[in-house]
Amino acid sequence: MSTAADPARTAELAAMAERHGLSRSSARPELPGYLRELWGRRQFIVSYARARTYSMYAGARLGSVWQILTPLLNAAVYYLAFGVLLGTKNGIPNYPAFLICGMFVFTFTQRSMTEGSRAISLNMSLIRTLHFPRATLPLAYVVNELNQMAVSMGILFVLVGFTDGVSPRWFLVIPALTLQTMFNIGMTMTFARIGTFVSDISQLLPFVTRTWLYASGIFFSIPDKLAALDAPPWVIHLLALNPITAYIDIVRRALLDEHEQHQLPNAWPIAAAWAVIALVGGFIYFWRAEDRYGRG
């Protein structure tokens, strides 16, 4: 008879292990200890993120130049489709910067979520071979996207500097992107856990994020559109609760002088609230399944 079929034998072995100070290698650690262990792996997180960035462009002839070309080409396509063909640029000063700002902020969250949803499933061999906090993997994916965001923001600074001039208000980009990064970490960890046990989520997320894209005021000013439709003021407040809308708005406030007439109400408090809720909730949600990653 196997040990698994003999509860008495299993209990005896468990008691023996406890007497000798042994514990399950896959047991979920307490949250404070888990955080300390995660902090101790910070160099691994940064190195893994750099390796992912390198591997993304290693096979391309232009290499890492695509880090600059990709966001620029995406912005050009959306400018042609929405700004020119659909006329959403009408009434919005410095529309190229307005559009690119929204696209870069949205892409930071979109890619963090979609790529992070596969963080565990794509690294199963590593998880089954080595013992380390599994949260290092989704964190590395967010750091990788943060590196890309830094390149994108450099492009945006140049564009805004030529069109609007340099302003001390640009320093507000730092707290704005800090809040968004906190939000992205929480969302990435949430979808990393879901993606581990529900493999179809990676197929569904592109449709979810595409819908999110069109509802976040990236291509047009939400207050202006609603005013044209004679929508009541409470609708603007409701749409402002969209976290991506809030992050786009606070970054635009920091960079664009003309955005004051298009800004949303309470964007900073909403952005801060979503950052804390997503980070704490997403981290705990991921940590609670720590002992299940790599099984099966």
pLDDT at 280 over 60: yes
Contact between 255 and 177 under an 8 Å Cβ cutoff? The reply is: no
Contact between 89 and 95 under an 8 Å Cβ cutoff? The reply is: yes
Per-residue pLDDT tens digits for 265-274: 888 999 999 9
Per-residue pLDDT tens digits for 256-266: 887 776 677 88
Beta-carbon neighbour count of residue 208 at 10 Å? Answer: 14
Question: Among 91, 131, 48, 34, which residue's Cα sits nearest to residue 219?
Answer: 91
Query: Residues with Cβ < 8 Å from 275, sequence gap 6 or more?
Result: 179, 180, 182, 183, 186
- pLDDT value of residue 224: 73
pLDDT at 296 over 60: no
Domain-by-domain residue ranges, the chain?
37-289
Average pLDDT, the chain: 84
Q: What is the pTM of this model?
A: 0.86
- pLDDT value of residue 10: 62
Beta-carbon neighbour count of residue 53 at 10 Å? Answer: 18
Give the whole-angstrom CA distance, residue 7 versus residue 15: 12
Question: Among 47, 187, 197, which residue's Cα sits nearest to residue 115?
Answer: 187
Helices (H) and strands (E) in the chain, counts: 13, 0
